Each structure stands twice: as structure tokens, then as C-alpha cells.
Amino acid sequence: MKNYVTYDPEGRIHYSITNLPEDEALLSVVDGQALFEIGDSVGISQDKQFILNGILTNRPPPPELPSTAVAPWVIPLNSLASGAVVTVSREYGTDIVIVDLSEIWDIEDAGTYLIQIEQPFPYHRVTQEIVIEAATSGGL
């Protein structure tokens, strides 16, 4: 009896199968997915791991975004995966969609913004509300 996870061609882990011989586990595999033997299902996380070239691998960590920042706040585009799309939304106005990660984008106006980052797998998608505070000028 062995433990397995199923995964798709991108390496995304779908579910685990425990305590079955391989021939029986294979009966549970959905078309388009493959079976990967694991020693113990404890510690396997779809959110943190994937299968890459037949090896259980850690997914890259999601980008860290602050919950508050001071204007001007630069959106960290250079840390994102190629193919990422960033959407910046505010309670009013048009959403800004950024696809050219070589550009530098900053938020200069105080307010509450919703930052949504869509990245190709195995990178994480992130949604974060950020409160941008007005810069304070240091006067006498």
C-alpha cells in the first residue's frame, strides 16, 4: 500500500490517494492527469508544492505586498513572473491593467487600492488591498 498525489501537465497537484496499491490508485486518476508516489501525504500542500520533471518541488513564494504604504509607492513589477498581469483598482475611476513588467508604475495619490496579480502557474496569484497614505513633508 502506497500514497500518491495526482497532478496535471503543468505540475499542479489535484488530490491525494492513500493506502492503495498502484494499480488501484491508477483507476482513480482523471484523464490528463498523472500519478506521483509520495512517502507520506503529511506536509504535501497544493498551495506550496508542485511536480516538476517528476520531482516534488516547492512553488515560488508569492510576492509580498504591504497593507499600507506612503505615496509614492512603486508597484514591484520586477519581482513578478513573465506573463504576469497586474490590475490596480480604486473605489472610483478606471482600473489600470499592467502587462509590461519592464515599466515602472507608482501610486502617487492617497487612498485605498486593490492590487490583483495574475501570474502563470506555478507562481501564485495575489489579491491585496493597500492603503496609500499621503507623504508628509518635513518642515520646520
**Other Cβ atoms within 10 Å of 129 Cβ, number:** 12
Q: Extract the C-alpha cell encoding 136.
A: 508628509
Residues in contact with 55: Cβ distance below 8 Å, sequence separation at least 6, in sequence order: none
pLDDT single digits (tens) 30-42: 999 999 999 866 6
- Is residue 14 very low, low, confident or very high in pLDDT (cuts 50, 70, 90)? very high
Cis status, amide bond into 9, omega within 30 of 0: no
pLDDT single digits (tens) 24-70: 899 889 999 999 999 866 678 899 999 999 999 999 999 999 999 99
Residues in contact with 110: Cβ distance below 8 Å, sequence separation at least 6, in sequence order: 71, 132, 133, 134
Evaluated on CA atoms 51, 18, 28, 14, the torsion sign reads: negative
The whole-model pTM stands at 0.81
